Amino acid sequence: MNNRTILIGPMGGGSIPDSGASMKNYQLANRLRELNVTVLTVDTGNWKRNPFILIKLLILLLFNARSNIIISANNLSSYRLLRIIRCLPGKRSVFYWVIGGSIANWIADGKVKKRAYEIVKFFLVEGLSMKSLLNQCGFNNVIYVPNFKKIDYLPCLNKSKDSVCRFLFLSRITESKGCDIILQAASILNKHYSKNYTIDFYGKVDDNYTNFHSEIAKLSNVNYKGFIDLRNTSNYDILSSYDVMLFPTFWHGEGFPGILIDAFICGLPVIASDWHFNGDILINNETGFLIKPQNTDALVNAMETVIKDKKLIDKMSIKCQLQAKQYDTVNVVTEQLLKGIGLK
């Protein structure tokens, strides 16, 4: 069997992966190589700035007519690529390792043509609800594979013993990830608790989110800490010093966010919106708090609860680290999985 595999998707453009998709593909490529799969990668992260990437992709597809193809890109890019592959000669095995949580709805609502996906040998999806919806659309070749990260290190739970509750946000910094909601909640909480908590933001600020820095400048206990590279495991020690992660996302493409795994690794319960797959990942009142999406009052109430009683999160921190191991790459992307779908 030809086990040459072409992995197509964003991977950081040769630098630090700065999105959930690029980090997932970076981890996936490394894991496939660990399992002795010959992997050729096509990093599509900067294709708009470097059209040569598309030429490279087309050449690889044309000269590897019997290879395995893993598509792990956003919905629209994956759809276009599948339509192209349908027209090419050869007998490629196509695997759609789905990024995000909305493609099943796109197919069900007719936003994309179902026949483009008929060449997919297996869909690998991040949520059971997506698996169910794709089954309803007539696809029975769907496997639930949660998001994953290589976990080499679990930091000590070195939470501060003082009364200040330390919150952090770690993701792409944009309105649809709930950043405005966090800032609104902070403005409300500061009327009574400005000395009792802090919020630190980590991540790449979206180019269109132009008022972010001016808004946090109005809040003395809210700070932007820049981008943190979690390929360096020592940075997990920084995150583990916090108490709770905030993640009130309402982004339409949200799937299984890798930052929830990062939170678990660091023993951080998460206050998250009950949005897409978050409710499948977090156990309410055990590894986090699920709140109504796009609801500032709900976020205020949840934050106020832990500000008033930090001891609530002690047991939750231990449960978070215990849950992290189930998302370790070695426990998710296994040799058994690859053999079962024909990648080995």
pLDDT in tens, the chain (344 residues): 456 899 999 987 666 777 889 999 999 999 999 999 999 999 988 777 788 888 889 999 999 888 999 999 999 999 999 999 999 998 899 999 999 899 999 999 999 999 999 999 999 999 999 999 999 999 999 999 999 999 989 998 877 888 899 999 999 999 999 999 999 999 999 999 999 999 999 999 999 999 999 999 999 999 999 999 988 888 999 999 999 999 999 999 999 999 999 999 999 999 999 999 999 999 999 999 999 999 999 999 999 999 999 989 988 999 999 999 999 999 999 999 999 999 98
Is residue 275 within 8 Å of residue 288, measured between CB atoms?
no
User: Residue 276: what residue type?
Assistant: H
Encoding tokens for residue 274?
């009950």
Going by C-beta distance under 8 Å and a sequence separation of 6 or more, which residues neighbour residue 264? 287, 320, 321, 323, 324, 327
Encoding tokens for residue 181?
């909601």
CA distance 134 to 212: 37
Is residue 68 within 8 Å of residue 33, measured between CB atoms?
no
Helices and strands per DSSP (H, E), number in the chain: 14, 12
Encoding tokens for residue 314?
């002690």
CA distance 304 to 152: 34
Q: Are strands 244-247 and 165-170 parallel, antiparallel or unpaired?
A: parallel
In order of 163, 233, 247, 272, 322, the CA distances from 267 in angstroms are 18, 14, 15, 15, 9
CA distance 7 to 123: 14
Domains of the chain: 5-150+328-341 (3.40.50.2000), 165-326 (3.40.50.2000)
Q: Which of 288, 294, 330, 293 is nearest to 306 (CA)?
A: 288
What pLDDT is stored for residue 1 in this prediction? 42
CA distance 326 to 338: 18
pTM: 0.91
